[in-house]
Structures are given as C-alpha cells and as structure tokens.
Amino acid sequence: MTRTGTEPAGAPSPPLNGDARPTAAVGADWPTITPLLRAAADERRLARAVDDLGLDRVATVVAEELAVRCDPAPVDHAAHLSFEITSGRDRAGRLLTVDRDGLTSQRDGWQDAPVRIGYDAVDLLRSLYGPGTHRQTSRRVTTCAELNAPGPDLGRLTAIVGERQRLAVAVQAVVAACQRHPVDLGLLSARFGSDKWADLHWYTQHYERHFARFRDAPIRLLEIGIGGYDAPDQGGASLRMWQRYFPAALVLGLDVVPKPGVRGPRIATAVGDQGDPALLDELGRRFGPFDIVIDDGSHLNAHVRTSFTALFPHVRPGGLYVVEDLQTAYWPGFGGTAGTVAGPGTSVGLLKRLIDGLHHQEWVTPAAAPQPSYADRHAVALTVYHNLAFIEKGVNAEEGAPAFLDRGCSPAPA
C-alpha cells in the first residue's frame, strides 16, 4: 500500500532504531522449526528430526501451528480438547481451547479434556509441512466414558447429545487444521486485514497465479514493509496471510520500525531501512536465499531500485522478486515523474531497463559499451500488471539470434 495523508512523501525517513543493522529475528523460533520443515517430505528424516528435537518441543511447534491454521469455530462457548502426539512409546500433548476466536493451547491439564484427538507425530508433521499429497492414516478421536454412557434418564441423554455436538464442532475445526486445504488468498487477505485485495488493491488474483507453484514447498519469503507504520504492535497482516497461504514457508518481514508485536511460529521480523544496500545484503546473507521477495515498503522510487539491486542476488534461481505500488513512478512526491512517461530513475524505469537487459544478447553495441549487469544476466521473465510487477530469476544466457541475420545496421565499431 502507499501511505497517503499526513506524512511527508519524498526523502526517505531515517531508521527509527539507533542501529540500522538488522537485529536478531524477533518473534520466531526458526532454529526449532527449520529441521522439521526440511525433513517433512521424508518420513525417516522426519523421525530423526522429531527425536533430535524431543516430542514435547514438537508438541509446542504443532500447537502453535494449529493456532495459525484453525478457523474460528461456531461454538456457543469455548470447547476444551486434549491433543496428543505419539512417537513409539513417547507421548506429549497440549490442552486446546477452541472458540469463536480460533485456537489457543496450554500444557497444563492436557490429559483432562472430555475428548482426545491423537496423531502419530511423523504422520501429522508430514501432513502439516510435507508435500500436499500425503494422506494421514493415524488420527484417533476418543470421547470420555461419561459422554459415552448416558444412562436411562432422557434429560441427561439430551444434554449429552448436545454436548457431543458442541465438541464435534471443535473437533472438526482442529482436524481440519491438521489437513491441507485449498485456500483463497483474497479471503485470507480480507481476514488478516491486508489491503492486497478488495481494499486499495486487487493484487491477490495475480499472487495466486504466480505463487501457486511454491505453495507446498519449504520456501523462504521476505516482505519489505510489515505495516502498522510507527506502532510496534501493529502490522503483520500480509506476513500472517503468507504464513497461512504457504504451509511450509518461513516468512521474514523487514520494516524501518521495530515490530516485536508481530509474531508467528514461522514469522520473523527484522528492523532496517530498505534504502540501505549494506543492510539488505546482510539480511540476504543471514536469512536467504529467498524464493520470493516482495517490496511493499516506502514505495519511494529510489528505495525500490536500491532494494532490487541489493536483494535480487539473494533470490534463488526460479524465484520471484515482486514490486508493489508502481503508481508512485508517476508521483513526484515519491521520486516519480509527473506526466505520461515514467523516467529512468523510477520503479517503472527499472522495469523498462530490465526488458532491455532481458535482450542483452541482441544488443548491437560498440565493444567498449558497458557489459550486461547482474540483473541483465539473471532476470529471465517479467510480468507487469496494473501497479504490480513480478520479476523471475534464472540464468539469462540464451544465445542471441544468429549472426547471419541482417540487423539492418553496419557492424558495431570495434
């Protein structure tokens, strides 16, 4: 989104933290979850990762993940469920509370709820983080004796049936959260409060088209611009949306304002100015390479260009670099060009230059002309929509058209 209104647009604001280096990741336990994500496609590796981590920590990871994935349940009051995972003879669990706000968990009293949902740990982790083709086979749901033996009293029977129905709604919400489903990114955007769909922008239709191929993979996604501007506890809408859309992704947000209040089991946040190339390079070295980078930060044209130059080398081959809000290329207040043609120093100027670079094999240039840049040699496709661009990374090394084809000009001077 482009921030409009009261704040001055133009020169980049200085970073608000005293030290502009990216700080340690805040609000995420990447070291814990990373081995599980990496191993999730392979049952034996996953079993080893579970052993290494210990079943109780795995239960924490799973409970946090279920809190991300569980939809609000239409129950009249909170339902409590025992959730158990097993590995061989080991057992660990959490008490889940499911209500109209979603799911929370705690360790205490996890064996005491009237319904128990159980999974084999490896089977469940494969289903949460592995390829979407995995079919669960280990689910067990058991109800306590009291809810199975109503006795002769009809009033008691009615109460028990009602209670079982209420719990069934909660069980369904948890079981659904343990499985992979198709999701609608527009709906997620609206639910998490991002403006990428139906509020200022119509981006998610394009994101779905370009991001679908990454959905099941253990990708790393960086988004510049967490949202919430000066408020440390606000923002994170799109990071939460990506965390939900990509079930095995690690999601990193960068903002010039520290965001300790933006948390999630697969979300990390760093603080820094996207106009600082050294900082971005350091970020790429520490957290990359990224499969996806999205620039939704200041939208100052100089920043968009600096960020692309610094971060494109940290995108994986086959990955995507996305620039939002190209409209600022036409807005002088953001360093854009007034009029009908965006100038070379703008975001749209960058894209036009990339089209030239994409064809560097076809240039007819003097021998002393500048060599193709890194971006010229690695941007292999561009797709531009209204205000939104996708740049695909690869190796742009196709041979040019054969030399015998007449280029309609005298040979380039030596």
Ligand X SMILES: C[S@@+](CC[C@H](N)C(=O)[O-])C[C@H]1O[C@@H](n2cnc3c(N)ncnc32)[C@H](O)[C@@H]1O
Q: Note the residues at the interface with ligand X (CB under 6 A).
A: 1, 12, 194, 196, 223-229, 235, 237-238, 254-257, 273-275, 296-298, 303
Q: Which of the following is catalytic: 134, 201, 299, 303?
A: 299
**Measured from the CB of residue 348, what is the shortest distance to ligand X in angstroms?**
19
Nearer to ligand X, 186 or 228 (CB): 228
Are the beta carbons of 375 and 309 closer than 8 angstroms? yes
**Measured from the CB of residue 294, what is the shortest distance to ligand X in angstroms?**
7
80 among known catalytic residues: no
Nearer to ligand X, 105 or 204 (CB): 204
Task: Indicate the Cα dihedral angle 400, 403, 406, 407, nearest 10°.
Answer: 50
Q: Which of 361, 347, 357 is nearest to 389 (CA)?
A: 347
Strand pairing report for 267-271 and 250-255: parallel
Please give the angle made by the CA atoms of 13, 17 and 20, to the nearest 5 degrees: 80
**Measured from the CB of residue 288, what is the shortest distance to ligand X in angstroms?**
17
**Measured from the CB of residue 293, what is the shortest distance to ligand X in angstroms?**
12
Positive/negative CA dihedral, 121, 123, 126, 127? negative
Query: What is the rounded end-to-end Cα distance, in angstroms, of the chain?
Result: 48
Nearer to ligand X, 118 or 193 (CB): 193
What size, in residues, is the chain?
414
Nearer to ligand X, 63 or 310 (CB): 310
Burial of 386 (0-12, 13-18, 19+ CB in 10 A): exposed
- Catalytic residue set: 299
